[in-house]
Structure 1
Amino acid sequence: MDGGNSGGRINVAIDGPAGAGKSTVARRVAEQLGYIYIDTGAMYRAVALAANRAGISPGDADRLAELVKTIDIALEPGADGQTVWLGGENVTAAIRTREVTLKVSEIASHEAVRMRLVEMQRKLAASKGVVMDGRDIGTHVLPDAEVKVFLVASVKVRALRRYQELSESELVPIEQLEQEIAERDRSDESRDISPLIRAKDAEVLDSTDLTIDQVVEHILDVCRTKTAEAK
């Protein structure tokens, strides 16, 4: 693949807080455009899973720095969404457990972890034609992305979405999820390394009262305009 404008392809950055619907929206946008979807949250979750299996505490910066030096994470598009591989093992379901969810924010706050994963993410996006979602894509990972969206939703709606995703064995009161999401927002917004912040040139899109289809269609409209400009 060539560099430059790569035949009119662009890069799309979708940022926002936990539970705003970034992954679902980004995956659908990528499918519609024929682009590659890169779920950066899944990459951090894979690190959290690897750390958990190795008995590394989320606060142990030194051991986490060693872990990410050799970690092997691969993302593959599949019929049912993205497949996540860790060292050749399919961990797509394993990284979505509540145990991983509760640890991933602290693990993602370490500079060595973020630097390694950002390096991997930038390589994946170098040839254009990717839709990447996360918390610092538009500000830090892909600051030159042609389309930047900051997707938000109320804490109540985000908690309800998370509740609906939980398996029966993981069910907790929705009030607890609201508390955890609000705490995750505080953690993501206040961390020193690549905090959750809207890029100055990102469009804020509130999905509280919108359907997934409406959000996807809006972003596609913006992408079509930018793609026409890039040609």
Structure 2
Amino acid sequence: MDDTSTARPAAGAVVVAVDGPSGSGKSSVCRRVAAALGLAYLDTGAMYRAATWWCLERGVDLADRDAVTAAVRAMPLEVGLDPRAPTFTVDGTDVAAAIRTTAISSVVSQVATNLEARADLGERQRAVIAAEQGPDGWSGGRGVVVEGRDITTVIAPAADVRILLTASEQARLARRALEVHGSADGASLAATRDQVVRRDAQDSTVVDFLTAADGVVTVDSSDLDLAQTVEAVLAVVRDVTGR
């Protein structure tokens, strides 16, 4: 489908919530699912990355939890919800590329494990989800696909569809190595391990995104390519919502 405006209108707003560890394919899969369904798309992990960028730009010590919380609360973040071209702008600066650098990846967990900062960003995420269920949202009331690490349990536990998208550690490392380094050889896998394994270990101290909560459907993408994983997620949406 080449234009989300041609997607079949839903009978009512649908919220699809997807959790999962690093490298499971959440962002790539959810963007395509949202586009196929004509829904808005929100990458909550990118919000934490944007918050990290904002703190570093302002010279905030990430170890100073109070200072980080204050900075995050003041962050003028704008998020574009078009799944074909999502945007992240902070104080007028396009940070979409900057927040994907290794420099941000290596320290974002310091913000993501700050409970007060999480609370602020969580409220922003809930506001987006609520807006997309009304006529004034980007989707025109069709709904939203939202992905991250605590979406099915903390941010949107009442979502129409809740999915844990997971994969084996080996598969996740290989995917992230290809994404970041362009190859999955031994050196690339070693260089990527910190971003995947360490971040998951750190972030799991404040939220459980490694096991499915009650009512959450697990989709294991270890042996699936991108297209197959997208179809698997769409199949869950169809099964749960009939759409």
- Shorter-chain TM-score category? 0.7 to 0.9
Q: Which residue of 2 aligns with 1:182?
A: 197
Distance apart, 1:212 and its partner CA: 1.2
Deviations along 1:191-226, one digit per CA (max 9) or x if unpaired, are 3xx343532211111111001111111211222333
Query: Counterparts of 2:121 and 2:52 in 1: how far apart (Å)?
Result: 12
Identity of aligned residues (%): 36
Is this contact kept in 1: 2:219–2:232, CA < 8 A?
no
Query: Counterparts of 1:86 and 1:179 in 2: how far apart (Å)?
Result: 27
Query: Counterparts of 1:211 and 1:91 in 2: how far apart (Å)?
Result: 29
What runs of 5+ residues in structure 2 fail to find an aligned partner? 1-9, 134-142
Q: How many residues align?
A: 220
Q: Which residue of 1 aligns with 2:101?
A: 97
In the TM superposition, 1:18-167 aligns within 5 A as 18-77=22-81, 81-126=85-130, 127-128=132-133, 129-166=143-180
Distance apart, 1:178 and its partner CA: 2.5
Q: Which residue of 2 aligns with 1:3?
A: none
Q: Which residue of 1 aligns with 2:209?
A: 196
Query: Counterparts of 2:82 and 2:38 in 1: how far apart (Å)?
Result: 13
TM-score by length of 1: 0.88
- Relative to structure 1, is the Cα distance of residues 156 and 143 closer, same or farther in structure 2, using a 3 angstrom cutoff? same
Query: Counterparts of 1:9 and 1:226 in 2: how far apart (Å)?
Result: 14
Q: With CA pairs under 8 Å and 6+ residues apart, which has the higher RCO, 1 or 2? A: 1
Is this contact kept in 1: 2:35–2:84, CA < 8 A?
no
Query: Counterparts of 2:67 and 2:78 in 1: how far apart (Å)?
Result: 22
Distance apart, 1:184 and its partner CA: 1.8
- Relative to structure 1, is the Cα distance of residues 180 and 101 closer, same or farther in structure 2, using a 3 angstrom cutoff? closer
Deviations along 1:133-174, one digit per CA (max 9) or x if unpaired, are 000000000010011110111222211211122268xx9631
CA RMSD of aligned residues (A): 2.1
Which amino acid letter does the alignment assign opposite residue 56 of structure 2? N
TM superposition outliers: structure 1 runs of 4+ over 6 Å: none
Distance apart, 1:19 and its partner CA: 1.0
- Relative to structure 1, is the Cα distance of residues 179 and 108 closer, same or farther in structure 2, using a 3 angstrom cutoff? closer
Counterpart of 2:60 in 1: which secondary structure?
A: coil
Deviations along 1:67-95, one digit per CA (max 9) or x if unpaired, are 01211111214585311111121111010
Counterpart of 2:48 in 1: which secondary structure?
A: helix
Deviations along 1:82-136, one digit per CA (max 9) or x if unpaired, are 1111112111101000000011112111111111111011011114311000000
Query: Counterparts of 2:199 and 2:73 in 1: how far apart (Å)?
Result: 26
Is this contact kept in 2: 1:148–1:201, CA < 8 A?
yes
- Relative to structure 1, is the Cα distance of residues 212 and 123 closer, same or farther in structure 2, using a 3 angstrom cutoff? same
Which amino acid letter does the alignment assign opposite residue 187 of structure 1? Q
Counterpart of 1:166 in 2: which secondary structure?
A: helix
Distance apart, 1:177 and its partner CA: 1.7
Is this contact kept in 1: 2:41–2:83, CA < 8 A?
no
Which amino acid letter does the alignment assign opposite residue 75 of structure 1? V
Distance apart, 1:179 and its partner CA: 4.6
